[in-house]
């Protein structure tokens, strides 16, 4: 009689997620082997612990992936969610990861380029390729090999506009008097993202807020606050910022609006 050793990934205790990545890429016969795992939460005599969730993931045929049709018995044992690229979720990730402010500002200005599948191109914009583009841009290299040459041309024009902006460090230090808010939309996004990405502590964040509150409308102030909150959280300065919010009614109003939008 043969007895098979327990697979290392099939834990009998503890809790977590058993992640079956790129499941649709497996041939149907291999996908079929997952039926017992999905239905009975076991492989042969070895059972998966009750504290574990089983999740599969993969790209669809509509994304140009080399996928195989999922056998009906396998598909029927799963709950299917279709995920789309979301700008605000990506920005939260990008700010926390420290992606280049030019990349975050450009994608904020052109949100339709966060994800744009080009089947005839090997390079096209996706949340993943924008992160690689950020690394190349930080090194002073063209981003065309990551997001396509056409998108790279647009990004280059945007960066030329950013280069003409006033020194944001003066605003962050509270010396923004006399500095005007730009009139061009792409430059407006660049200023708001740039101030958020450079707000290293709650004092700089407050200076940027006060300047924006003087020179522009509430929609741009709220755009800045939303990104600045993520930036301060990533630098472990959100606690002092939250304390400062309680003593500033104007700032508190904008923060409450951001939080209410997230909850909604």
In-domain check, residue 1: no
Range of the domain at 196: 87-263
In-domain check, residue 69: yes
Are the beta carbons of 172 and 208 closer than 8 angstroms? Answer: yes
- Picking from 2-16, 25-39, 129-143, 197-211, which range would have the lowest pLDDT averaged per residue? 25-39
In-domain check, residue 175: yes
Are the beta carbons of 190 and 103 closer than 8 angstroms? Answer: no
Are the beta carbons of 78 and 56 closer than 8 angstroms? Answer: yes
Q: Give the tens place of pLDDT for each residue, 46-99.
A: 899 999 999 988 887 777 667 778 888 888 888 889 888 899 999 999 999 999
In-domain check, residue 131: yes
pLDDT for res 36: 83
Percent pLDDT > 90 in the chain is: 57
- Picking from 152-161, 206-215, 253-262, which range would have the lowest pLDDT averaged per residue? 253-262
User: What is the number of structural domains in the chain?
Assistant: 2
In-domain check, residue 152: yes
Do 236 and 199 sit in the same domain of this protein? yes
Reduced to 3 states, what is the DSSP secondary structure of residue 54? strand
Nearest to 233 by CA among 92, 68, 71: 92
pLDDT for res 263: 44
Do 129 and 224 sit in the same domain of this protein? yes
Model confidence at 27, pLDDT cuts 50, 70, 90, reads confident
pLDDT for res 259: 67
Q: What is the mean pLDDT of the chain?
A: 89
């Amino acid at each position: 009689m043969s007895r098979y050793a327990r697979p290392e990934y099939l834990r009998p205790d503890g809790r977590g997620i058993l992640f079956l990545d790129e499941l649709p890429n497996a041939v149907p016969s291999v996908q079929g082997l997952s039926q017992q795992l999905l239905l009975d939460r076991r492989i042969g005599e070895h059972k998966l612990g009750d504290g574990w969730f089983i999740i599969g993931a993969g790209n669809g045929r509509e994304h140009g992936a080399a996928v195989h049709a999922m056998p009906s018995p396998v598909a029927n044992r799963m709950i299917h969610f279709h995920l789309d690229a979301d700008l605000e979720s990506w920005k939260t990730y990008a700010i926390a990861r420290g992606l280049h402010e030019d990349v975050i500002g450009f994608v904020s200005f052109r949100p339709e380029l966060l994800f744009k599948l080009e089947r005839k191109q090997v390079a096209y914009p996706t949340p993943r390729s924008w992160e690689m583009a950020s690394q190349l841009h930080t090194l002073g290299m063209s981003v065309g090999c990551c997001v396509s040459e056409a998108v790279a041309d647009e990004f280059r024009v945007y960066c030329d506009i950013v280069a003409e902006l006033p020194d944001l460090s003066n605003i962050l230090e509270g010396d923004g008097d006399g500095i005007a808010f730009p009139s061009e939309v792409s430059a407006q996004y660049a200023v708001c993202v740039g101030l958020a990405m450079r707000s290293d502590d709650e004092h700089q964040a407050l200076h940027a807020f006060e300047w924006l509150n003087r020179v522009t409308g509430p929609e741009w102030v709220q755009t800045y606050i939303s990104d600045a909150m993520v930036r301060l959280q990533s630098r472990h300065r959100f606690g002092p910022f939250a304390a400062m919010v309680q003593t500033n009614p104007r700032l508190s109003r904008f923060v409450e609006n951001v939080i209410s939008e997230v909850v909604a």
